[in-house]
A and B are shown apart, each in its own frame.
Chain A
Amino acid sequence: DSGVTQTPKHLITATGQRVTLRCSPRSGDLSVYWYQQSLDQGLQFLIQYYNGEERAKGNILERFSAQQFPDLHSELNLSSLELGDSALYFCASSLTWGNEQFFGPGTRLTVL
């Protein structure tokens, strides 16, 4: 158990819908990262927050957004979903940047 929790574990929805994925980092960790894992793209960095502020953006679509709340949990919002958004979404946390990242169990999103 890494100490990072993600909910829900599985999510099945239809094209055009909007979903929210939730992540709680390890106690004391200030940095949260979101990654997408798909068969064709592999593991891709989406976005990073540090102590409530956005720090870095990767290959994140404009239909996707995220935020980190004062209690340091983070949410990834995916809207206008397409079939190609079906993937495993991981959250990871670290004390600060450059430190070891601890990964959550992931949320498997299936868009039908």
Chain B
Amino acid sequence: AQSVTQLDSQVPVFEEAPVELRCNYSSSVSVYLFWYVQYPNQGLQLLLKYLSGSTLVKGINGFEAEFNKSQTSFHLRKPSVHISDTAEYFCAVSSPYGSGNTGKLIFGQGTTLQVKP
């Protein structure tokens, strides 16, 4: 079975400061990893994804994440946050077809990023 743990439920940060949202996963098979963002009263929007290849993945809105297989982590980073980045962030895991998985996403509990002026 696969699982995702987001290590922080809330992360307060000042505007223009760097931020890291931590995500660890557990899986007995190879993984696909995703970060989604949910703004208030909206659906989930994909920030970035790791399927294979380079372990450093760049996404939208200046976010990036690094896949670390030995640490089973996929932490999300942004060098300078804006007020508009205030939202809920979800890390999710899936697996390639053929490894017993049909593509369903297993989500972490979410991290609330609060950007203060």
Contact = CB atoms under 8 A, between A and B. Distances in A.
A48 interface: yes
A98 B104 CA distance: 8
Contacts of B49: 100
Interface in A66-104: 90, 92, 94, 96-104
Interface residues of B, number: 25
A22 to B, nearest CB: 15
Given A42-B109, A43-B90, A100 B46 contact: yes
Contacts of B102: 48, 50, 55-56, 97
Nearest to B44: A103
B43 interface: yes
Given A98-B96, A100-B49, A33 B105 contact: yes
A33 B34 CA distance: 16
Interface in B94-111: 94-97, 101-110
Contacts of B51: 98
Contact of A101 (B95, B105, B108, B110): B105
Given A50-B102, A104-B43, A42 B97 contact: no
Contacts of B103: 31, 33, 48, 94, 96-99, 101
Contacts of A52: none
B32 interface: yes
B103 to A, nearest CB: 3
Contacts of A104: 43
Contacts of B36: 103
Contacts of A58: 104
Given A92-B44, A99-B103, A106-B43, 12 more contacts: A45-B104, A48-B102, A50-B102, A58-B104, A90-B44, A98-B95, A98-B101, A100-B46, A100-B49, A101-B103, A101-B105, A105-B43
